[in-house]
Amino acid sequence: MTVTHDLVDTAKGFDLVIEALRDAPAYAVDTEFHRERTYYPKLALVQIAWRDGLALIDPIAVDIGPLAQILDGPGVAVLHASDQDLEVLDLACGTIPSRLFDTQIAAGFVGMSMPSLSSLYERVLGIRVGKGDRLTDWLARPLNDAQLRYAAGDVEHLLAVYDHEVADLEARGRLSWALDECEDARRRERGARNPDEAWRRVKEIRQLRGPARRVAQSVAAWRERRAAEIDQPVRFVLPDLAIVGIAQRQPKSPPELRKIRGLDDRHLRGEAAEGVLAAVRDGLARTSEPTEEPEIKELDRDLRPAVALVSAWVSQLSRDLEIDTTLLGTRGDIEALLRREPSARLSTGWRAELVGEPIRRLVDGEAALAFDGGGELVLEARSHTSLP
C-alpha cells in the first residue's frame, strides 16, 4: 500500500494508515505543533512514513488517539531530535513509542555533532532539502502544497538514514550504546511541570527572603496552575516582574493589586485577581522557607587541577573515536565522577569502561597523561620515575 503526502483528514483514511503500520518493523514520525500562545503544545500535523508509504495526518480533522496502537506496538519509532515530539505525542495519544531510535542521538556516535535533520540528510544521503518557512502557521487550513511537501520531507528519507546509521553503528560496535542513549531519552521525564517548583524559574525570586520569598513561591505556583487550567503561557497569566512586585508589596485588595508594576486589567480578569490575592494570603500564612535545590558537593581541592587535564583528554578521545563530546563525557560528568556520585554517568555502562575507569586510574596515581611529541595526549601506565 502506498499513501502519498496528501493530507489524511478522514477517519477512513486514517484507519488505512493504521492498518498499514501494524506490521511495520520501523516507521518514521515527526510532528508540527505550536505552543507560543498555549501552555500545552497544540498538535497541528503528524507525519509518518514506512517502507512503502507516507502519510500526513490532520489531527484537527481526525481523532489521533488510535495512533497509540502503533506507538505501543513492537515497531521501532524513528524520530530526529525527539524530545518535543515525544511530549506532543504523549499529550495527543496518551503514550509514547515503546521503542525509540533518535537519528540525531545516533549521529553523535558516528562522527557527527548532533546535526540538524537537513545536514544529516545531506551528509548521509547526499540529499539537500529546503529549510521551509519556520514561521508557517501549521494550524491554518487548508495547508498549501509547499507546506505539505516540506512536512513530508521531515520523514520521507528518515528510514534510509536509520538504515545507514544502524549499519554504521554495528560496524563500529556501538549500536547498543546508541540504543541505550535513545532509551534514556525515551524515558526522560517530561510533560506537566510541578507548580511548587515554578518559583525556581524566576531568578529574581532567589534574591528575596522571609515573607516576600514565601509569597513569591505561592504566587508562582498559582500562576503555573492557572496557566495549565486555561491553556495559556505563564507569561500571559502574570509576568515575572509582577510576581516579584506582588511578593515585595503583598497587596491585600484588588485596588492595591492593580498598583503593582507589570500588571494590567488583562492579567486580572474574572477570578484572576482573587486567585492572586488568595495566593498572597497563603504565602503569608506559611512559616517555612521554600526548600533550596540540593547543593552539589564541592569537588575536593586536590582534584580540581585534574578536571582541566581530564577534560582535554576526553575531548581528544571524542575526536579520535568520532563520538560527540556531550555523549562521551562533559565537564559536569567528569566532576560528578571525581565526587564519586552514585549516579555519575561515567561510572556505569559503556562510559565506565571507555572513560570512567581510565580517569579513576589516573586520579588514583595508577596512570599518567603525557604528550606524545606530536601534540596529542596519551594515557599510559605510570612509571613512578621522576625526571632528574
User: Which domain does 70 fall in, by range?
Assistant: 7-187
The verdict on residue 38 lying in a domain is: yes
27 and 166 inside one domain: yes
77 and 156 inside one domain: yes
The verdict on residue 386 lying in a domain is: no
213 and 88 inside one domain: no
305 and 362 inside one domain: yes
248 and 333 inside one domain: no
pLDDT tens, residue by residue, 90-126: 999 999 999 999 999 999 999 998 899 999 999 999 9
Return the closest-CA partner of residue 312 out of 297, 295, 331: 331
The verdict on residue 295 lying in a domain is: no
272 and 130 inside one domain: no
75 and 164 inside one domain: yes
Return the closest-CA partner of residue 277 out of 261, 255, 248, 257: 257
For strands 100-102 and 26-34, give the pairing.
unpaired
* 48 phi, psi to nearest 5 deg: -135, 135
Residue at a domain's end among 187, 212, 247: 187
CATH code, domain carrying 83: 3.30.420.10
pLDDT at 205: 95
The verdict on residue 387 lying in a domain is: no
pLDDT at 299: 84
CATH code, domain carrying 235: 1.10.150.80
Residue at a domain's end among 187, 219, 237: 187
pLDDT at 361: 93
71 and 149 inside one domain: yes
**Number of domains making up the chain:** 3
- The answer, yes or no, to whether residue 134 has pLDDT greater than 80, is no
pLDDT at 131: 66
The verdict on residue 2 lying in a domain is: no
316 and 181 inside one domain: no
Cut 0.85: pTM above it = yes
- The answer, yes or no, to whether residue 2 has pLDDT greater than 60, is no
Mean pLDDT for the stretch of residues 13-41: 96
The verdict on residue 254 lying in a domain is: yes
The verdict on residue 294 lying in a domain is: no
Return the closest-CA partner of residue 341 out of 293, 308, 298, 310: 298
pLDDT at 3: 45
- The answer, yes or no, to whether residue 294 has pLDDT greater than 70, is no
23 and 131 inside one domain: yes
209 and 132 inside one domain: no
Residue at a domain's end among 285, 319, 342: 285
The verdict on residue 290 lying in a domain is: no
pLDDT at 300: 83
Return the closest-CA partner of residue 199 out of 260, 308, 138, 289: 289
68 and 206 inside one domain: no
